[in-house]
Amino acid sequence: MTRVLIIEDDTKTSNLLRLYLQQEGYEVMAARDGVGGLQLARSKMPDLVVLDLMLPGMDGMDICRTLRRETGVPVIILTARSTQDDILLGLDSGADDYITKPFNMREAVARVRTVLRRAGKSDAPPKEIIYGDLRIDLIRHEVSIQDVSIPLTPKEFKLLETLAREPGRAFSRLELVERAFGYDYEGLERTVDAHVMNLRKKIEPDHTNPIYVETVYGVGYRFVEKRTAV
């Protein structure tokens, strides 16, 4: 999975961008200050870094120059500095692209995709996830079992997709609300239980003994680990 590191001290911006990138299938890490962000970039070796300029601890320009000296990782600068001189300074420091705040999240994801493609590091996201008789068509938003279509609501499909994209990972109810239903979803975390119950009734051979969506007691839910993505 393609890994993206966000170095951004504004929690709302970081969380929202993380959510949009995760929904596109990227693995996302985040740091809130310059020193921690540089350490994370060095230790985790992401495929791309989204970097704010005005950071506590270490300036974003210095981080960009350091990354350019030490690695070939693509960098997208994310900042409120929007003058022509600022943009040129950022690009001269080694950045591959420059996004000014405020910005559209979908545009930012498109920029990430473009820079990764230029760098030759963009993995094509899977079109389907298959586990046994269960097939999840991520393009058509369709689910079938033994080639029989299973009608799901949009929230049920997004919940199943979110879990199935990272099999074996235990998601908390809050994570599922944010990633499957959206950062601005106003429902309660416990509504996830109702959606999971309905989803199990539709896809599980025996919803009282699930083989696809498992309960992780004290945490939330996870999709069984063994699967095939094509």
**Each residue of 107-149: pLDDT tens digit?**
899 999 889 988 876 555 567 888 888 999 988 889 999 989 9
CA pair distance 48, 189, nearest whole angstrom: 32
H or E segment at 27?
strand 27-31
Q: What residues are paired with 51 via a beta bridge?
A: 7, 77
pTM attached to this predicted model: 0.59
18-22, 90-94, 139-143, 193-197: least confidently modelled range = 90-94
Fold of 128-229: Arc Repressor Mutant, subunit A (1.10.10)
Q: Are 108 and 20 in contact (CB under 8 A)?
A: yes
H or E segment at 97?
strand 97-100
* pLDDT score of 31: 95
| Mean pLDDT along residues 30-46 | 93
CATH code 3.40.50.2300 region(s) in the chain? 3-119
Q: Decide which of 34 and 229 is more confident.
A: 34
| Mean pLDDT along residues 28-38 | 94
Q: Are 19 and 65 in contact (CB under 8 A)?
A: no
- Please name the residue ranges forming H helices in 71-137: 84-92, 105-119
pLDDT-based confidence at residue 177 (cuts at 50, 70, 90): confident
Other Cβ atoms less than 10 A from the Cβ of 95: the count is 27
| Mean pLDDT along residues 82-97 | 72
Q: Where are the beta strands (DSSP E) in 47-92?
A: 48-52, 75-79
Architecture per CATH, 3-119: 3-Layer(aba) Sandwich (3.40)
Q: Is the pLDDT of residue 154 over 80?
A: yes
61-86 per-position pLDDT tens digit = 889 889 988 888 999 988 876 666 66
CATH code 1.10.10.10 region(s) in the chain? 128-229
CA pair distance 207, 124, nearest whole angstrom: 33
* Burial class of 209 by CB neighbour count within 10 A (0 to 12, 13 to 18, 19+): exposed
Tokens of 40: 């994370």
27-31, 78-82, 195-199: least confidently modelled range = 78-82
